[in-house]
């Protein structure tokens, strides 16, 4: 269990009035906006999701999805990946970036699954993060999306950015952002929270040009821009 080192009241305050219900109201609106929010990584089982998530580091889901059907048709499970020729796998996943490191991690992770877990993906955070190439974000994706286990909250670049813009956290590290979110939201909502924030970050609250005028939560967002007198201003 993550130890919370600071409380929600220690975060950057919002200019918006907040009676304590703002986080829940934002989540409710985003759930309505994305009623079927789930990972966009294509997979048929927990192991495929694990490999796809490793591949998705510093890469878009679209690019990963373009190559995983062929990859999983060739490598059916941990044993196939464990015996893959590194130079061949490197070329097969080259388009995802950092392909040498990802190749090493995928092969080593597959071997660890065979040697330590009978070829099965573990369902405990402490076991998952011991696997090569697997950190808390990847572990949270697999636990939440493959097993429905709420061990934590997925914090990728979108969740990190939106957490700061929405005033949920002012932390710089993903781990601290996750801790802040775990304080603000009920555990039963952790899986949905990560999913809707990721989709909202991709569809609406972009890094460079957020679409505040069409954002369903702009009324609760301390960073929202609105057009006034022909100029974009912070609300």
DSSP state for residue 132 in the 8-state scheme: T
DSSP letter (8 states) at residue 45: S
211 as an active site residue: the answer is no
The active-site residue, picked from 102, 137, 180, 189, is 137
- Percent with pLDDT over 90 in the chain: 85
Q: Alpha-carbon distance 199 to 205, whole Å?
A: 9
pLDDT in tens, 61-120: 999 999 999 999 999 999 999 999 999 999 999 999 999 999 999 999 999 999 999 999
Contacts of 147 by beta carbon, 8 Å cutoff, 6+ apart: 46, 123
Q: Are 22 and 16 in contact (CB under 8 A)?
A: yes
Domains (range + CATH), the chain: 18-36+153-220 (1.10.1670.10), 46-147 (1.10.340.30)
- The whole-number pLDDT of residue 18 equals 57
In order of 76, 91, 123, 180, 191, the CA distances from 100 in angstroms are: 21, 9, 27, 34, 31
Choose the catalytic residue: 156, 180, 189, 192: 156
Residue 137 annotated as catalytic:
yes
């Amino acid at each position: 269990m993550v130890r919370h080192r600071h409380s929600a009241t220690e975060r950057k305050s919002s200019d918006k009035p907040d009676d304590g219900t703002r986080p829940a109201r934002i989540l409710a609106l985003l759930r309505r906006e994305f009623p079927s929010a789930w990972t966009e990584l294509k997979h048929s089982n927990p192991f495929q999701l694990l490999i796809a998530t490793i591949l998705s580091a510093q890469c878009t889901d679209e690019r990963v999805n373009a190559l995983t059907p062929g990859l999983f048709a060739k490598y059916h499970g941990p044993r196939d990946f464990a015996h893959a020729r590194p130079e061949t796998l490197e070329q097969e996943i080259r388009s995802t970036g950092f392909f040498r490191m990802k190749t090493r991690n995928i092969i080593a992770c597959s071997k660890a699954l065979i040697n330590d877990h009978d070829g099965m993906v573990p369902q405990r955070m402490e076991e998952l993060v011991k696997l090569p190439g697997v950190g808390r974000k990847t572990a949270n994706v697999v636990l939440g999306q493959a097993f429905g286990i709420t061990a934590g909250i997925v914090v990728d670049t979108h969740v990190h950015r939106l957490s700061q813009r929405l005033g949920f956290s002012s932390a710089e590290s993903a781990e601290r952002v996750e801790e802040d979110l775990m304080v603000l939201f009920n555990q039963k909502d952790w899986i949905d929270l990560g999913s809707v924030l990721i989709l909202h970050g991709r569809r609406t609250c972009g890094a460079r040009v957020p679409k505040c005028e069409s954002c369903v939560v702009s009324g609760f967002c301390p960073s929202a821009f609105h057009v006034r007198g022909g100029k974009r201003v912070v609300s």
